[in-house]
A and B are shown apart, each in its own frame.
Chain A
Amino acid sequence: MTPVADGVVAEVERPAAAAAAVASHRTEPLLAVEEVSVAFGGLRAVDRLSFEVDPGTIVGLIGPNGAGKSTALKIIGGEVRPTSGRVRFDGTDLVGTAPHEAARRGLVRTFQLGGEFGRLTVMENLLVAVPGMKGQSLLGALAGKRFWRASQDAEVRRARDILSGLQLRDKEDAYASDLSGGQRKLVEIARALMARPKMLLLDEPMAGVNRSLARRIEETLSSLRAEGIALLLVEHELGSVERLCERVVVMASGSKIAEGDMSEVRSRDDVLSAYLGRRR
């Protein structure tokens, strides 16, 4: 068994019943996207999108290229402000807050491409994500190492645990820009874990990743769910989506066209038509 985050054990497939049990303790979803729309000029990139994500669950957001998935992720993460609708996270409306506020409240996103801090080492990449570490203010920095060293040492140990769980321990001194594409994706996930998130927004974590690394990412995501972390997964690799997600939301041309479990939505004509370009 391999530790991934605080008290987390990897390679443990979380039973669906346990996921449901976690979700049943809450009266409202962790994330609620309510009638969200955004238009760029004349283009309506996202149109009245609504769905919910409960704690300890993995929801897939799928659809063909240009469906609006990444824009939806940017809206949820606070990077793009919607023209209408609400995004409620953990009981708070995120629309209108500063872009970094979502992460501070526990909603952390990863990037499809180039999300690493290239000329920072892997360890530094992880430490940047630690919220409220001593020495991050000007006065704290000027106070010197004696003020912040113990706090940093504790986070370094935690980062090493996470890196070990992802089999990246030997890469901690490597610059992130020197890693392979798959390793960079793992570093991003590890970095997001350092932020102690309640929920992760993952933008195509399997894209361009070899099969072995993709399997490792899948195991990691499963173990995060076991810890109670919610995940919203934008992914084109539908095999991974099917293995990981209890529920999927299908988008096409900015709108939600279907929602349900994978086996249910994949048989729908409108999904096949939009996703595979088939005529009805």
Chain B
Amino acid sequence: MSYYLTVMAMYILIGIIAAWGLNLQFGETGVLNFAYVMFIAAGAYTTAVFTLGHPSANGTQQYFWGTHLPFPIPWIASMAVGAVLGVLVGLVSLRRLRGDYQAMVMLVVSLIATYLVSANTGFLNGQTGLALIPAPFGSVHLSELNYRWFFVAVTAVVALLVFDVMRRITGSPLGRTMRAVRENEAAAVALGTNVVKIRLLTMAVGGAIAALAGAIEVQFIGAWSPAGWTYPETFGLFAAVLVGGRGNLGGVALGAFLVQGLFLEGTVLLPSLGNPDLVGAVQWITMGVMIMLFMWFRPRGVLPERRRRFATEARSRVPLLLVRAQRDARG
């Protein structure tokens, strides 16, 4: 049971990190990135080839290039790849197209990527995927269970760092500009906002965060294949953002906990009834229904985006007495 708790904890933390990245794109900036899972996969594959070593050392697996570098270099490399990929996908889909069309292009890009990686065996071992990916922290000598909890703890620290980055961005004038782009692109442009630049930035940062989630996940489970990043996975993360509350970091974390943790992973514990695929099918059907219900009845989620108020002069850090004294002095 304790072993399974580490799995649940990891999936929840990874889900929260990934959902925060998607929230920056979709919740804050309004970019419908239906290719989001591709960025998680990019991070996972990057960390895999940065840890597996040279392909010749892994006779049973084929991949285009590989090396073995210590933690945290593979994770950093994954984030860099996610950011660059975000800009590239953004340049293709965000510059000349609007709204719905951007989403369609991203979905197509995601499908193309899955098929490319699946079909080309020499690139990343095709449909079989990569396995035997080494875990990080090789110098830490703990029992297997304690090691897993240690990994959970490190991931929790990473999640806190990602939260801090997201909080700084969303709470700043940059975050406000992102929300303006989400609310009314034409008005944002009319006020001098370079909307394409803002969206590319959000694709880069969100892509890096998604790739970081993938990097952590692949080293935790030790394997990665195209079956793990099909496009419905993206909608699982969208469900987390929508259920929790787009634009609210706490809400999105709650959504990821509920959807990614309890709903998607927790149901694995359910006894299989007849057809072994039944639980999985019911999961996705229920997820679709849940997204629709929230869109209809609670589109802002369980914890909606908070209203941002600005301190008045008297409520600011200037002591009230000082304000009064200044006012009296002015007569």
Q: Which of A98, A129, A140 contacts B194 (CB 8 A)?
A: A98
Option from B165, B173, B193, B194 in Cβ contact (under 8 Å) with A127 = B173
Asked if A84 lies at the interface with its beta carbon under 8 angstroms from chain B, I say no
A interface size (C-beta, 8 A): 51
Closest chain A CB from B49 CB (angstroms): 28
Q: How many A-B residue pairs lie within 8 Å, measured between CB atoms?
A: 115
In Å, the complex CA distance between A77 and B176 comes to: 23
CB of B292 within 8 Å of the partner chain = no
Partner pick for A108 among B176, B190, B194, CB 8 A cutoff: B190
B188-205, CB under 8 A of A: which get 1 and which 0? 111111110000010001
User: Does A109 have its Cβ within 8 Å of any Cβ on chain B?
Assistant: yes
Partner of B168, one of A114, A118, A125, A141: A141
Report whether A118 and B173 are in contact in the complex, using a CB–CB cutoff of 8 Å: no
CB-defined contacts of A135 to chain B, threshold 8 Å = 172-174
> Which of B84-92, B252-260, B277-285, B305-313 touches A?
B305-313
Does A134 lie within 8 Å of B183, measured CB to CB?
A: no
Contacting B173 at CB < 8 Å: which of A103, A110, A120, A152?
A: A152
Interface 1/0s, chain B 290-328, versus A by CB < 8 A?
000000000000000101111001001000000000000
Count of B interface residues, CB-CB < 8 Å: 33
Q: Which of B175, B176, B195 makes the CB contact (< 8 A) with A100?
A: B195
- Chain A, Cβ-Cβ closest to B309: A173
Q: Which of A108, A120, A156 contacts B191 (CB 8 A)?
A: A108
Residues facing A in B164-181 (CB within 8 A) are 165, 168-169, 171-177, 179-180
Q: Does B173 lie within 8 Å of A134, measured CB to CB?
A: yes
Q: Given B175, B179, B310, which contacts A119 in the complex, CB threshold below 8 Å?
A: B179
User: What does DSSP make chain B's interface, helix, strand, loop or mixed?
Assistant: helix
In the complex the two chains form, what is the Cα distance from A133 to B177 in whole Å?
Answer: 11
Q: Across the interface, do B192 and A117 meet the contact criterion of CB distance under 8 Å?
A: no
Given contacts A116-B184, A128-B191, contact A138 B205 (CB under 8 A): yes
A-B contact pairs, 21 of them (CB 8 A): A77-B190, A99-B189, A100-B191, A100-B195, A108-B191, A108-B192, A115-B184, A116-B184, A117-B179, A117-B184, A117-B187, A120-B179, A121-B308, A121-B309, A128-B176, A128-B177, A128-B180, A128-B188, A136-B172, A152-B173, A156-B310
Contact residues of A with B, CB < 8 Å? 77, 79, 98-101, 103-104, 108-111, 114-121, 123-125, 127-131, 133-138, 140-145, 148, 152-153, 156-157, 172-173, 175, 191-192, 195
Q: Knowing that A141-B173, A142-B168, A195-B191 are A-B contacts, what are 19 other residue pairs whose CB atoms are under 8 Å apart, sorted by A's residue number?
A: A99-B189, A100-B190, A100-B195, A103-B190, A108-B191, A108-B192, A115-B184, A115-B187, A117-B180, A124-B308, A134-B173, A138-B174, A140-B172, A140-B173, A145-B172, A152-B173, A153-B316, A172-B310, A173-B309
